Structure 1
Amino acid sequence: MTHTARRTLAGVTAAGLLTASLGVAVSAPATAAPRAAALGTCKISTLPYPTDTYRADANVIDPTGRFVAGTALRIEGTDNQYLLLFWDGNRLTEVEAPSMASPADVNADGVVIGNGWGEGGNGQPWRYRNGRVEQLPVVSSATGVSVTAINKAGDIVGLGRTIDTGESFGLRWPAARPGTVEVLDTPANAEPRGITANGTIVGTAGDFGYWTSWVRRPNGRYDALTVPGAQMSYVSEAAGHWAIGHVDLPDSIWVPVRWNLRDGSYTTLDPQSPSLEDVNAKGVVVGADRVVRGATSRVLPGASDGVGIGTRSISDTGTIVGFRNGERVTPVRWTGC
C-alpha cells in the first residue's frame, strides 16, 4: 500500500540549515568488469508521485536501494509550487520547497542533501533527516555555496566561490562536528564531486574546459586522475573504489572513463553511453538510457515512440532511478538490470 505524507518547508524547524600538490597516479587499463544481470529480469516501474503535478522526477537513490529523493512541479493558477519528494520504499513524503530546490545525494541512513537559494539569490544548501529539512551552514566570505555528495558517515562535500574572483574551492561539512563547515586545502579552482565511505574525495580543478581531476585520500594526500595522453579530464561521481568521468584524447573528445581509485587504473566505457550520471560501489554505471557494466552497455526498458527515459542514480543493489517522459514526466525505478 502506498502512503503519502505532505509537509511544507515553512512548517519545518530549521536548525543549523546546512594545498597539496597533485601527485601522479598509475594509469593502465583496468580489469575485472562487473557481471551483467540476466536480460529477462530487467523491469521498469513507476514510483508513486503526486498525480496533480505537471512533472515529477527521481534524482538520487541511496546505496541500499531503500531511499530515493526527487522533485516535482505543481501548477496552481498563475503560480508554480515546487516540491521535494522523499521515498522510503513506496512511502512518499512531499515537502513544499522554494523555487528550484533539488536533491544532490542521499546516504544509506536516508539523509538527503540538496541545494536551493537563500537571500540575495545566493546558494543555500540543505539537509533532510528525521522528517525535517534544515539549512546547512555556509562560509560567509563565499558565494554560490552548494553540496555535491554525502557518505555513509554523514560527511558532506561541496564547494563555494570567492566573492572577488569567482574561483571555486572545496568545502566539507564533517559529521563529527555538527553545525560546522570547513574549507578544504584543495587545488586551485577545485570542485569536489564525490565522497566515498572511507572519506576519499574526488573532484576537478582548473578553468572551464581545461579541467584536471584529482583524488584526495583520507590522509590528505592528493593524486591525479587521468589517462595517458589526455588533454583534459573531468571526474563527476565516485562510490566504493570507483570514479567516473570523461577525458579528451588527441583523436577523440569527451571519452567516458571509469577509474579504479585504489591504483589509478582506468577503463574506457562504451561510446554509446557518452552521458554518465552515476556509479555504484560495484563499478556499475548509468547514464542517459543505459546501464554500463565493464566496457559494454545495454539500453534499459521503458522507451517507445514518443516516450523517452533517462537514468539519474544507481544503488549498490543495482536498483536504478530516473524519469520517463511521455504525456508528462514521471519518476521511475528499474530493478534486475
Structure 2
Amino acid sequence: MNRIQKAFLAAIVALAPMFTVASGTAGAYEAGDCTWTQATLPLPAGHSQAYVSTAANGGWFAGSSSFGGTIRWHDGVAEDLGRAFGRKTEPTDINSTGTVVGMTYANSREADAVVYRNGRFTALPIPPGHRTARALAVNDAGDVVGTALGLGDTFDLTIWPAASPGTVLTINPDPSVYGYVSPVEIDEQGRILIRASASETDFFVRYPDGTMTKLALGTEYVTAFRNGRIAGETYENEQFVTTEWDLTGTVVRRLDTWAAEPAVDSGTRTTGTYRTADNGYALGVWESGVLTHTLVTSGDSGGFGRPVITDDGVIASIGPTLMTFHHSCPA
C-alpha cells in the first residue's frame, strides 16, 4: 500500500549494476531456508523510464512514467493507464483489486484527486470550501483518504468513503490549532492515522465510527500504519531509533538497527534502509525487531529509495531501479 511523501525519482533499469544484491540473511532468525528473490518489473512498450511508488497484495504495483502517466503492474505484466484527463498524473496508492488513486497536475499545480477503477480515471469530488484535493491512500474496501486545500491555504484530511459514493468528508481535530492535517495511512479496518501539524506535530487515530484518539508518540517522524501497527523514528540517547507503537501510543518494540522511513506489514515484519558498517546503504528486513535479511546494498545514498511492503511477502524499492523482492519458504 501507499507510503506518503514519496520523492519523485526516475527509475532507470540500466542503473541496476550499481547495486549489490545480498541473497543471504543477516541472521538465522526465520524458520527453514526462507529467502527473498529479486525480480525486475518490465516497462510498457514505448517506455524507457518509470518508477514504482506503491504495491499491494496479489502482485499489484503502480507508478509513473517519464511521460507523466500512470503505469500499473499485475503479476509482472505492465499496463500503461495513461494520463487522467490529459494531465500529468501521479499515482500514490493501489489496493488488492488494482484500484489506483493519485492526483493530477495542471500548470505545475495539483488539480484533481483521481481514482482509476473499472477501466477509467474518475475525479473525486472536492469538498465545499476547498480549492483542490489529492488522494493519498486507499484500502481494500475502496475507502480513499487524502487532503484538500482550503481557501485559507490550510489543508484538511479528506475521506471519500466507499460505502457512500460521491460523498466527501473533511476532518480536522481542531481547526483553530492545526493548519495542515493529512493521513499517514488508512488500514484495512478503516482506521486512519492522522498527522496534524501546527507549531508542533501531533498524531491521532480516527476510527470508522468517527471517534478520534490523540497519541503521545514523542516524535514527528512517523511513516507507517497497518493493522494497528505504527512505525517511525525517535531520537533517544543522541541517536535515531526505529520505534513501533500500538493504537494507544505504547511502544511495542525498537528495531535492533536504525531503519530510516520504515514500512510495516500486518504481522511482525518491517522493512527500511539502514547504514552499513562501511558507511554504505542497505535495504533490510526485520522480524519482530531483529534484522534477518539484507536485500540490496549501495555505496550511494541515492542508490535506492524507501521501500513499500505487502502482506503476502513482497517488497518494492522506490528508487532508481524497478526492483522487487519476493519472500518464499520451502514446503
Determine if the TM-score, normalized by the shorter chain, exceeds 0.5: yes
TM-score range, shorter chain: 0.7 to 0.9
1:220 counterpart = 2:210: yes
Q: Post-superposition shift, 1:183?
A: 1.3
1:48 counterpart = 2:42: yes
- Please say if residues 53 and 64 of structure 2, whose CA atoms lie closer than 8 Å, have aligned partners that are also in contact: yes
Distance 1:106 1:262, change over 3 A: farther
Distance 1:270 1:55, change over 3 A: farther
- SS class of match (1:275): strand
The separation in 1 between residues aligned to 2:191 and 2:259, in whole angstroms, is 26
- Please say if residues 44 and 78 of structure 2, whose CA atoms lie closer than 8 Å, have aligned partners that are also in contact: no
- Please say if residues 66 and 88 of structure 1, whose CA atoms lie closer than 8 Å, have aligned partners that are also in contact: yes
The separation in 2 between residues aligned to 1:133 and 1:301, in whole angstroms, is 35
Determine the structure 1 residue equivalent to 2:269.
284
1:240 counterpart = 2:227: yes
- SS class of match (1:301): strand
Tell me the number of residue pairs that the alignment of Structure 1 and Structure 2 aligns: 284
- Please say if residues 87 and 106 of structure 2, whose CA atoms lie closer than 8 Å, have aligned partners that are also in contact: no
> Pick from 135, 140, 148: which aligns with 1:147?
135
Determine the structure 2 residue equivalent to 1:259.
245
Q: Aligned partner of 1:104: which letter?
A: T
Determine the structure 2 residue equivalent to 1:76.
none
Identity level (%):
24
Q: Post-superposition shift, 1:270?
A: 4.1
Name whichever of 196-205 and 279-288 sits farther off: 279-288
RMSD: 2.9
> Pick from 106, 115, 137: which aligns with 1:127?
115
Determine the structure 2 residue equivalent to 1:183.
170
> Pick from 140, 158, 161: which aligns with 1:171?
158
Determine the structure 2 residue equivalent to 1:317.
312
The separation in 2 between residues aligned to 1:100 and 1:285, in whole angstroms, is 32
The separation in 2 between residues aligned to 1:116 and 1:283, in whole angstroms, is 35
Distance 1:120 1:334, change over 3 A: closer
Name whichever of 183-192 and 235-244 sits farther off: 183-192
Distance 1:205 1:113, change over 3 A: same
Determine the structure 1 residue equivalent to 2:194.
203
Q: Aligned partner of 2:291: which letter?
A: S
- SS class of match (2:189): coil
TM-score for the superposition, normalised by structure 2:
0.75
Determine the structure 2 residue equivalent to 1:296.
290
Determine the structure 1 residue equivalent to 2:62.
69
> Pick from 292, 311, 323: which aligns with 1:332?
323
- SS class of match (2:210): coil
Distance 1:152 1:51, change over 3 A: closer
Q: Aligned partner of 2:271: which letter?
A: V
The separation in 1 between residues aligned to 2:31 and 2:122, in whole angstroms, is 39
Determine the structure 2 residue equivalent to 1:28.
none
TM-score for the superposition, normalised by structure 1:
0.74
The separation in 1 between residues aligned to 2:253 and 2:131, in whole angstroms, is 36
- Please say if residues 226 and 233 of structure 1, whose CA atoms lie closer than 8 Å, have aligned partners that are also in contact: no
The separation in 2 between residues aligned to 1:298 and 1:53, in whole angstroms, is 36
- Please say if residues 61 and 94 of structure 2, whose CA atoms lie closer than 8 Å, have aligned partners that are also in contact: yes
The separation in 2 between residues aligned to 1:192 and 1:122, in whole angstroms, is 17
1:88 counterpart = 2:74: yes
The separation in 1 between residues aligned to 2:32 and 2:89, in whole angstroms, is 37
Distance 1:302 1:185, change over 3 A: closer
- Please say if residues 287 and 310 of structure 1, whose CA atoms lie closer than 8 Å, have aligned partners that are also in contact: no
The separation in 2 between residues aligned to 1:99 and 1:283, in whole angstroms, is 40
Distance 1:119 1:309, change over 3 A: closer
The separation in 2 between residues aligned to 1:119 and 1:183, in whole angstroms, is 26
Distance 1:106 1:138, change over 3 A: same
Q: Aligned partner of 2:59: which letter?
A: R
The separation in 1 between residues aligned to 2:286 and 2:256, in whole angstroms, is 7
Q: Post-superposition shift, 1:151?
A: 1.3
- Please say if residues 205 and 212 of structure 1, whose CA atoms lie closer than 8 Å, have aligned partners that are also in contact: yes
Unaligned runs of 5+ in 1: 1-34, 74-80
**Deviation sequence 1:103-158 (CA, Å, 0-9, x none):** 21111211111122247834321111122122211124224522221112111111
Distance 1:274 1:186, change over 3 A: same
